[in-house]
Amino acid sequence: MKKIKLTLAVFQAATALVFLTTHLAFAQTPEKRGEYLARAGDCISCHTAPGGQPFAGGLKMNTPFGYLLTPNITPDVKTGIGSWSKDEFFRAIHDGVNKKDQDMYPAMPFTSYAKVSREDVDAIYDYLRTVKPVANEISINHLAFPFNIRTSMFFWRELFFSPGFFKPDSSQSASWNRGAYLVEGLGHCSECHSPRNVMGAIEQSKAFTGALVDGWFALNLTSNLRTGLGSWSAGDIANYLKTGKYPGKTSALGPMEEVVHNSTSYLNDADLLAMGVYLKSLPANSSLNNVNKVIDKSTLEGARLYIDNCSGCHQSSGRGIQNVIPPLASNPAVLAPNGSNVVKVIIRGIGSRNGYIPMPSFASRLSDEEIAQLSNYVRGSWGNAAAPNVTEAMVKHIRANPGI
C-alpha cells in the first residue's frame, strides 16, 4: 500500500511539473506567447499560398462543394485584418463569424478553435499584429451554388456547431488536460483525422479514425493496435510530432509533413508529451476494421515488380534499413485504408528528410497497371493486411494530377 501511495505521489508530482513547465514557457511577452500559440494552431500553413508571403492567404482549400481561398490575416488594413478589433478577431475564431457578420465556412476549423480560451485567442491576435503587413486582396468564395450563399451555413451551424470553451476534466492529470486542450482545440487534429458526412461535418462516432485529406490519408489516431497508435507510447507520439519520424516504423508524409515542419516541431517537449498522453487515451474506435481484406501475397507479378524495383533498398522482408531507408512492413502510411500514399511516393519519389536518403520517382519506369500491382503487393505483404484497393484508374488519376 505504501508503494502504491508513493507511486501515485510521484505521478502527481510529475504531472504537476509538466503543467508548470508548460506555463513557464509562456512567461514572456504577449507577442511571443501568441507566436507560440499560432504555431500550435498551424495558422501559417493554411494562410500562406505556395510561394506567397507568410499569413497573406491565397491557399486553395478543396471541398466536395468547390474550393475556397484562405484569407489574408496579416495586419494590412485594406486586405488583411489590420482594421479588425480584438473582439472581432475573437468572434471569428470562437464563433465562426467574420467582421462582415457573415457565417464562416468550416474549412476554417472554428468548430475546434471554439475550445480555445479568450486569453490565448487574444495572444494570437497580438502576435499577428506584429507580422509584416501584405497587401493581398483575396476572393475567398469559389463554392458551387447553393453553397456559395453564406446563409446556407445557418442550417449547417444549427446541426453541427455548438460553441463552448474547453472544460478540464478534474479526474484526469494536468498533462492529459493540457494535451486534450491542444489536440481538440488549437491543434484541431480531428479536423483532418476524422471522416466527414455528406454535409461536410465530422462523423463524431468515428472521430480520429482517419480520413482522406487532399488525396493523402490522415492516419488513425486512436489506440487501435493494427491501424492506430495502440503500439505507440506517449513518448513515441511526442517524438514523431517533434521530428516527423518514428525510427524503424514510419515518417510523416504529405500534409502531415507540413504540419510537423510548420507547427508541432516548434512546440515544447512538455506540450508534445501532453498531446501524446491524451491521444493514447482515445478508444480504439476504428472505422477501418471492416476493410481487413488480405491480398494474395503469392501474386507473381506484384512480387516480381517488388524484387526488381524495391527490394534492393527496402529489403526482401520490407524492413528497410534503420535510419537510412524507412520500412514498408507495419508502416502506417502503407497500411492506410486508401492506397494513395503509396502510389504518390512511387510516382513522385521523396526527397531526403529526417536522415533518410532520397527515393527516386518510378513514374517513367512503371506503367499505371504495374504501379497498382506493386502497391497492392506492398500493402499485403510481411504481415501488412491493408485492402488491395489500388486500381489502375487511381494511379492514372494521381499521375495526371500532380497537385493532389
- pTM beyond 0.95: the answer is no
23 is in an annotated binding site: no
313 is in an annotated binding site: yes
What span, in angstroms and rounded, lies between the C-alpha atoms of 97 and 150?
11
Digit-by-digit pLDDT tens for the chain (404 residues) are 444 444 444 444 444 444 444 444 444 677 799 999 999 999 999 999 999 999 999 999 988 889 999 999 999 999 999 999 999 999 999 999 899 888 899 899 999 999 999 999 999 999 999 999 999 999 999 988 888 888 778 778 877 887 889 999 999 999 999 999 999 999 999 999 999 988 888 888 888 988 988 888 898 999 887 778 988 999 999 999 999 999 888 889 989 999 999 999 999 999 999 999 999 999 876 443 333 334 454 467 888 898 889 988 888 678 888 888 989 988 999 999 999 999 999 999 988 887 888 999 999 999 999 999 999 999 988 888 899 899 999 999 999 998 88
What span, in angstroms and rounded, lies between the C-alpha atoms of 73 and 84?
10
The class that CATH gives domain 292-400 is: mainly alpha
47 is in an annotated binding site: yes
What span, in angstroms and rounded, lies between the C-alpha atoms of 263 and 241?
9
- Contact in structure between 388 and 380 (CB atoms under 8 Å): yes
- Contact in structure between 250 and 257 (CB atoms under 8 Å): no
189 is in an annotated binding site: yes
All structural domains of the chain with their residue ranges: 26-160, 174-290, 292-400
What span, in angstroms and rounded, lies between the C-alpha atoms of 346 and 368?
11
192 is in an annotated binding site: yes
What span, in angstroms and rounded, lies between the C-alpha atoms of 203 and 193?
11
